[in-house]
Copies of this chain bind each other. A is one copy, B any other.
Amino acid sequence: MRFPPDLRDSAVPGSDREAPGIGEAIYRLLAEIFPICRSVAGEGVRETLRRLQREIDLTIHEVPSGTQVFDWTIPPEWTIRDAYIRNEAGERVVDFRDCNLHVLNHSAPIRTVLPLSELKQHIFTLPDQPDRIPYRKSAYDEAWGFCMAHDRLIALPDGLYEAVIDSSLTVGSLSYGEYYHAGTSEDEVLLSAHICHPSLANDNCSGLALLTLLAKAISRRKTRYSYRFLFAPGTIGAIAWLARNEEQTARIRHGLVVSCVGDGGGPTYKRSRRGDAFIDRAASHVLRHAAPAPVLLDFSPYGYDERQFCSPGFNLPVGLFQRSVYGSFPEYHTSADNLDFVRPSHLAESYAMIESILDVIEQDFTPLGTLLKGERQLGRHGLYAGGDGSPATQAANLAMLWVLNLADGHHTLLDIAERADVPFAQVLAVARRLQSHGLLQA
């Protein structure tokens, strides 16, 4: 038996999570941080973090350039002021002020005049998507370059062009933001989004905005687990955090990397390296009930920062939540990943699914019936949903029978939800109702 998806099922009465307009709120924050020109290290990340600080009490950490973090070295900070290609008439034919993707991210400075044929060696385009500007970066090899639409490039007449990138690569620091919400237990849930991409809306302004507003909501709750939100540059930011918090990672019981949550694809969950961690079961369960065809992937060492959290020396129970699978949508890493590509409704759905996953983590317990012999007489306890034979009534009665049948002290609510193929939220609601009627131990 499978239920129609109703994400709000997973809401626990009395919680604040059914914020009306959460999709719009995430979208507004996303749109505010979208124009900022982030890179792996520099003012773009800091400016973004400061904006997030207006929502939550975020701590900003700085890791100095040159610091060794495991196999990596923190690169210099990148400052970008202007960049353009000017033709002989003095017109800007490529202009950073139009779109910050036009400059190779983390590009070295340049100021030169070149014939077009030589300049082309520093220009990246997408011949297959000729009207889109690609996103390219060169954080660890010093290089300079531009990105532009292929159509525009081939329309350029031969001749001399002035190429100017007014940037600097200087000793500074890599920045990341961290927000910690203390729960009853020191056991932690890690929620992480990468912050190093410039103006790409889905990848990952969407993840940053969603997690920020989720953190804001959680900050007002009493929770069982403590929650750690991490907004760090991809790869090296996560590695830097791991290097500085090696001891503390032992507290992480569950985790999600969150990226690309504003498009209409998926939903996608990629399992942790362990493959059978509780987060893997919880997320798979939620997605199966939230969507007709969720994408459930086994771990692979390619993707986002789950690669770092799941490196063999840590092997943390951290999965990846997305809508479309990374790299699988044509807008990926192009100028088409813009504010039109993401939608408040998709952001709201993603938010609800992540909340549902956290509900499983927070609310799961092992129920024990107060009488285990023979079936309960539901009618006598005022619990029988009626015998009208409608699918909804049958499902309600059946969910109750499942919980009672498996409430033997050896099955958690998630175990029951999986075996009964009923959404966890419904199993939880049934268990609470049975508790209140004295049929399960409180």
Output the nearest chain B residue to A311 by Cβ-Cβ distance: B374
A298-334: contact bitstring with B at CB < 8 Å (1 yes, 0 no)? 0011100001101111110000000000000000000
Is A371 part of the binding interface, using a Cβ–Cβ cutoff of 8 Å? yes
The listed residue (B72, B373, B404) touching A301 by CB distance below 8 A is B404
Known interface pairs A311-B372, A313-B373; A398-B302 also in contact (CB < 8 Å): yes
Q: Are A372 and B313 in contact (CB under 8 A)?
A: yes
Q: How many angstroms between the C-alpha atoms of A420 and B300 in the bound complex?
A: 8
Q: Are B374 and A308 in contact (CB under 8 A)?
A: yes
User: In the complex, which residues of chain B have a beta carbon less than 8 angstroms from the beta carbon of A110?
Assistant: none
Is A233 part of the binding interface, using a Cβ–Cβ cutoff of 8 Å? no
Q: How many angstroms between the C-alpha atoms of A71 and B384 in the bound complex?
A: 14
User: In the complex, which residues of chain B have a beta carbon less than 8 angstroms from the beta carbon of A302?
Assistant: 397-398, 401
Known interface pairs A311-B375, A313-B372, A374-B308; A301-B405 also in contact (CB < 8 Å): yes
Query: A30 CB to closest chain B CB, in angstroms?
Result: 27
Q: Are B243 and A374 in contact (CB under 8 A)?
A: yes
Q: Which A363-405 residues sit within 8 Å CB-CB of chain B?
A: 369, 371-377, 379-380, 397-398, 401-402, 404-405
Q: Are B301 and A401 in contact (CB under 8 A)?
A: yes
Q: How many angstroms between the C-alpha atoms of A273 and B402 in the bound complex?
A: 11
Query: A374 CB to closest chain B CB, in angstroms?
Result: 4
Known interface pairs A310-B405, A407-B312; A374-B70 also in contact (CB < 8 Å): yes
Output the nearest chain B residue to A138 by Cβ-Cβ distance: B387
Is A69 part of the binding interface, using a Cβ–Cβ cutoff of 8 Å? yes
The listed residue (B140, B300, B371, B377) touching A379 by CB distance below 8 A is B140
Q: Are A371 and B71 in contact (CB under 8 A)?
A: yes
Q: Are B314 and A373 in contact (CB under 8 A)?
A: yes
User: In the complex, which residues of chain B have a beta carbon less than 8 angstroms from the beta carbon of A405?
Assistant: 273, 301, 307, 310-312
User: In the complex, which residues of chain B have a beta carbon less than 8 angstroms from the beta carbon of A310?
Assistant: 405
Instruction: Name the residue among A71, A141, A380 with the largest chain B CB count within 10 angstroms.
Output: A71
Is A18 part of the binding interface, using a Cβ–Cβ cutoff of 8 Å? no
User: In the complex, which residues of chain B have a beta carbon less than 8 angstroms from the beta carbon of A375?
Assistant: 71, 235, 239, 301, 307-308, 311
Q: Are B398 and A69 in contact (CB under 8 A)?
A: no
Q: Which A123-154 residues sit within 8 Å CB-CB of chain B?
A: 140-141
Is A252 part of the binding interface, using a Cβ–Cβ cutoff of 8 Å? no
The listed residue (B273, B311, B373) touching A311 by CB distance below 8 A is B373
The listed residue (B69, B141, B407, B408) touching A374 by CB distance below 8 A is B69
Q: Are B70 and A371 in contact (CB under 8 A)?
A: yes
Is A361 part of the binding interface, using a Cβ–Cβ cutoff of 8 Å? no
Query: A281 CB to closest chain B CB, in angstroms?
Result: 18
User: In the complex, which residues of chain B have a beta carbon less than 8 angstroms from the beta carbon of A140?
Assistant: 377, 379-380
Instruction: Name the residue among A140, A375, A377, A398 with the largest chain B CB count within 10 angstroms.
Output: A375
Q: How many angstroms between the C-alpha atoms of A433 and B373 in the bound complex?
A: 46
Is A242 part of the binding interface, using a Cβ–Cβ cutoff of 8 Å? yes
User: In the complex, which residues of chain B have a beta carbon less than 8 angstroms from the beta carbon of A380?
Assistant: 71-72, 140
Q: Which A208-242 residues sit within 8 Å CB-CB of chain B?
A: 235, 238-239, 242
User: In the complex, which residues of chain B have a beta carbon less than 8 angstroms from the beta carbon of A308?
Assistant: 374-375
User: In the complex, which residues of chain B have a beta carbon less than 8 angstroms from the beta carbon of A301?
Assistant: 375, 398, 401-402, 404-405
Is A348 part of the binding interface, using a Cβ–Cβ cutoff of 8 Å? no
Q: How many angstroms between the C-alpha atoms of A369 and B315 in the bound complex?
A: 14
Q: How many angstroms between the C-alpha atoms of A380 and B375 in the bound complex?
A: 60
* 18 pairs of residues in contact across A and B, judged by CB atoms under 8 Å: A70-B373, A71-B371, A140-B377, A140-B380, A300-B402, A301-B402, A301-B404, A302-B398, A307-B401, A310-B405, A311-B372, A311-B374, A312-B405, A312-B407, A312-B408, A313-B373, A314-B373, A315-B408
Residues in chain A within 8 A of chain B (CB atoms) = 69-72, 140-141, 235, 238-239, 242-243, 246, 273, 300-302, 307-308, 310-315, 369, 371-377, 379-380, 397-398, 401-402, 404-408, 420
